[in-house]
Amino acid sequence: MHKIDASGIRKVFDLAATMTKPINLSIGQPHFDTPQPIKDALCKAVQDGKNAYSQTQGILPLLNLLQQDINQRYHHADRKVFVTSGTSGALMLALCTLINPGDEVIVFDPWFVMYRHLTTLAGGNVVEVSTYPDFKIRIEDVRKAITPRTKVILFNSPANPTGAVASAQEVQALAELAAEKNIALISDEIYRVFCYDEKFHSPAEWNDRTIVIDGFSKSHSMTGLRLGYIHAPQYVIQQMLKLQQFTFVCAPHPVQWAGVTAWEIDLQDNVEDYHRKRELLVSLLKDDFEIHGGQGAFYLFLKAPWGTGSEFVAAAIRHNLLIIPGNVFSPSDTHFRISFAAEDDLIREGAAILCSLARNPPG
């Protein structure tokens, strides 16, 4: 544990608790409430006594829905799914199943904060492949990073913190390289529904051994309910299920029944609303900031117009604006993350502060 730092995002959350009505654009979750039918289904499941352990792999009604969808999308003869305690639980199970001490995991810099630390927990070492300045994957850089110790490539699109959505060409090249080198490819697809400019592509379209992590947290605003799932070739799933038995046991049982209801809810209006919010934020910032990424999820990862990313964020916090410094997600301290999962008025207030800071550097 001494090799793992406390989350910089949590530190910002702790800071937010001490501020009076901050303009909080640091949030990594949807700003809309969990839809009422999902809450009703959860309450009903509790009242109906669905409070004991479920099967380790998840309840059959939810498994059937997930498996049917996966079969229709990929047509892989051997691809199986099970339900996890959030996507974080799925990620931990996948990494701990695949990684031996000293193995290497390729991650794309900047990355989601858990990737480095869960790799450390599993005894592995992170190898960074930079995507700066435009957050695109350059396949030759990935090829150069591969060594005899490379066990896993960890891929995330749409990405947190950049909001970048990899093109079909990038995804196909990565999938084929992983297959060529016999390296496990984990695809974190928790933001899959939030694609604004082009169609989402999974590496599982080109590599039938891809391990896909997905869930309900972002799409259905169920972050606190901890409901995810993972699908992969059956021989990998069997090993992860053994580990789930002796760690998480199962995903929260009543929440799985809420997931059955959630699966039937059309949330396209929310996706379109975030597309509109992306357009709003970009229109407000484009004259003062260099903007890349943001084609999906609900983040922009912006280069600080002066100073380090941390210095610029500190100035924003002094102006009552909460954003996340980029060095939480990267060895580079050049950028910051802003979320547009917020009400329009907050987005406008936050953008005004950022533009004012950009135009008035200290000294």
pLDDT in tens, 241-272: 999 999 999 999 999 999 999 999 999 999 99
- Read off the DSSP letter of residue 296: B
Q: Quick one: 358 exposed, middle or buried, by C-beta within 10 A (0-12, 13-18, 19+)? A: middle
Q: In the block, which residue shows the tokens 């953008």?
A: 351
- Looking at this protein, which amino acid is placed at residue 37? P
- CA 108, 297, 281, 326 dihedral sign is negative
Residue 5, pLDDT above cutoff 90: no
User: Which of 177, 161, 143, 188 has its CA nearest to residue 127?
Assistant: 143
> Mind listing the pLDDT tens digit for each residue in 43-99?
999 999 999 999 999 999 999 999 999 999 999 999 999 999 999 999 999 999 999
Q: What is the mean pLDDT of residues 17-38?
A: 88
Give the angle 201-205-207 at the CA atoms, nearest 5°: 125
Question: What confidence score (pLDDT) does residue 231 get?
Answer: 98
Is the predicted pLDDT of residue 11 greater than 90, yes or no? no
What are the two backbone dihedrals, phi and then psi, of residue 308, each rounded to the nearest 5 degrees? -85, 165
DSSP characters over 298-311: TEEEEE-SSS-HHH
Give the CA distances from residue 27 to residues 10, 11, 23, 161, 227, in Å, rounded to whole numbers and listed in that order.
10, 12, 11, 11, 19
- C-alpha distance across the termini of the chain, in Å: 41
> Each residue of 147-204: pLDDT tens digit?
999 999 999 999 999 999 999 999 999 999 999 999 999 999 999 999 999 999 999 9
State the CB neighbour count (10 A cutoff) for residue 94. 28
- Cα–Cα distance between 212 and 178 in angstroms, integer? 14
Report whether pLDDT(10) > 90. no
> Does the structure show a pLDDT above 70 at 16?
no
Mean of per-residue pLDDT scores for the chain: 95
User: Which tokens sit at 242?
Assistant: 């053994």
Q: Which domains does the chain show, CATH number per domain? A: 8-30+267-359 (3.90.1150.10), 36-263 (3.40.640.10)
pLDDT of 337: 97
